[in-house]
Amino acid sequence: MKFKKLAIYTMAFALLGGVASCESPLKDFNLQISTEVIRHSAVLQVAGADGSDISNATIRLIGGDMDDIYNLEGRKTFQLANGFVAFGVNPNREVMPGAPVTFQVEIAAAGYTTQIVTVAISNINNGIQAVRLVRPMNLPDGVASNTQTVALGANGATTTAVTVGASDNASGVEVSIAIPAGTQFLDANGNVIQGGTLTVNTLGFDALSEDALALFPGGSLQAEGVIGPDGSTSSGTFNPAAATTIDMNVGGVAVRQFSQPIQITMDVSPDFQLSTGAALTPNTQLVSYSFSPSDPVWTYQQTAMVTGSAASGYSLSFATDHLTTFVGGEFIKSCAAVSEVTFTGEWITQGFTYPVTVEALHHGQVISTRTFSVSQGNQTIALENLPASDVTVVVRNTVGAVVAQGPLAACGTTTQIAIPNPPGTFVTLQLYVRCPNNTTPITLLPTFQMEYRVTGTSRWSYLGEVNNGFLSTTLLKADGTRYDFRATWKNRTKVVAGKTVVESNIATVGVQPGDIIGEKAGATNLAILTEECNGL
């Protein structure tokens, strides 16, 4: 293979200003001059359902092991930078193999639905977890939405039996809610809400649809700490037949409970298949679970018989005395908290980086999707809460083509998957940093995320994770094509536009002869470099 070098110029310089700064509010750490005080981390990439940028999101830890979670600067504030947000585990907390640190994150942005995501940080490559936020006024395919009002009596109760709901003929999604006469509506404290009008917002969605899945809690069919019929907790994967989120309010006060049960009926998705492979019949039993933003844990509701026929379609009906998100179908317990997959290939031993999307399929249904930057030292990845059997791991390149696949190994063992050398010429990037008044470059540099696009285009694509200032890729062409590069580290961003790939360039950021300090913001870059180097 022919190798070429890419000069990073100063695209990552502002990010690397914190090369070895030990400033941190965390106490009692055994700090050393190193790029990474925090050793174990995970990254979320937040965007709109159509992939559009979201810059105004509020990110808040709300549960789980959140006391041990910091940003990569060792602080408790989290914000998006180019759609990325990173979470790190307190270095005093040891992350044991097979026992990830898990916590819940609430992501809210004006004009979008709020998502609550479970993040798991293991001791191996955790990759980048995509989170998609949906605009209520621009719902994806596979969703039915409706808002209705119901007049209430003087005591805040329905005067007659009422049926409300939502349907969408194109997707086949239909949800109906039967409210008995005399039903009163209660707030979170169990008090009857007085008011003349009940407003019902019904959102039904096909969770087997990739687009509609963005509305499912966490945007994923996988779940942690699910409370089962016997009260015990387990992790695993939902196989959803139907799902709905129902919001009600009386006079603007949110309804949380009812004075008597209401009945919810959901049409079963025509794409639903039982995990056993058996055919769906009117005698099939499916389970329902509920999830509430105020208590973000999936909880068993009841088991119910499917009604209908193959010709007319099936539906699932159950009673509830509270409001929330509901899913009906199957819950398949995982065999282990973490399934390890190790990639092999000549390109790994030669030190190159390959950004890939890894999907886990159960009976052909995608249940997990994550992006990984695979390189030497980071070739073993973590996939959480997969079923014990009938799982296929599919590896795709950045354009979506399948480059490798194979069955998940037996529970407790590592899956080995060989990835062929990617086609094209490898382009290699190598960056060093030299502090002012020093002649020896710093070669131990922080890890950061790199994106790229062809100059003149609008969409950024993932180039990979830059480890210790090094990245090698076949995604760039050394043929005169001009690229824009965007690097993200902690909350810092650097964009460099209109650069071409050149042969055998190794760059050193600094002020010595031959070093680079920036073409447009040299003074700012020098100030950052000086400030951070003073912390060494």
- Would you say the C-alpha torsion 447, 449, 453, 458 has a positive or negative sign? negative
Closest by CA position to 128, among listed 40, 66, 204, 46: 46
List pLDDT tens digits, range 331-365. 999 988 899 999 999 988 887 889 999 999 998 88
Structure tokens at 458: 């609008």
> Running DSSP on this structure, what letter comes out for residue 125?
B
Instruction: Give the residue extent of every domain in the chain.
Output: 143-333, 426-533
> What is the model's pLDDT at position 447?
76
Which residues of the chain carry a pLDDT beneath 50?
Answer: 1-35, 504-505, 511, 515-526, 528-531
Closest by CA position to 10, among listed 447, 383, 462, 429: 429
Record: fold of 426-533: Immunoglobulin-like (2.60.40)
**What is the reported pTM?**
0.80
Distance CA 322, CA 415 (A): 43
Helices (H), 229-374: 346-349
- In degrees, rounded to 5, the angle at the alpha carbon of residue 368 between the alpha carbons of residues 108 and 167 is 65
**Do the strands 448-454 and 482-489 form a parallel or antiparallel pair, or are they unpaired?**
antiparallel
Record: fold of 143-333: Chondroitinase Ac; Chain A, domain 3 (2.60.220)
Residue with tokens 């549960």: 63
Distance CA 212, CA 518 (A): 44
Contact 222, 367 (CB under 8 A): yes
In this structure, what is the dihedral angle of CA atoms 407, 409, 414, 419, given to the nearest 10 degrees?
-20
> What is the model's pLDDT at position 422?
87
> What is the model's pLDDT at position 28?
35
Distance CA 428, CA 514 (A): 20
Distance CA 246, CA 38 (A): 41
Residue with tokens 């690229």: 483
Closest by CA position to 421, among listed 104, 26, 2: 2
- Calculate the average pLDDT of the chain: 84
**Do the strands 3-6 and 426-433 form a parallel or antiparallel pair, or are they unpaired?**
parallel
Q: 173-204 as b/e, with b when 16 or more CB fall inside 10 Å?
A: bbbbbbbbeebbbbeeeeeebeeeebbbbbbb
> What is the model's pLDDT at position 502?
60
> What is the model's pLDDT at position 27?
34
Q: What contacts 424, CB < 8 A, 6 or more positions away?
A: 474, 475, 477
Q: 340-365 as b/e, with b when 16 or more CB fall inside 10 Å?
A: bbbbebebbeeebbbbbbbbbbbbeb
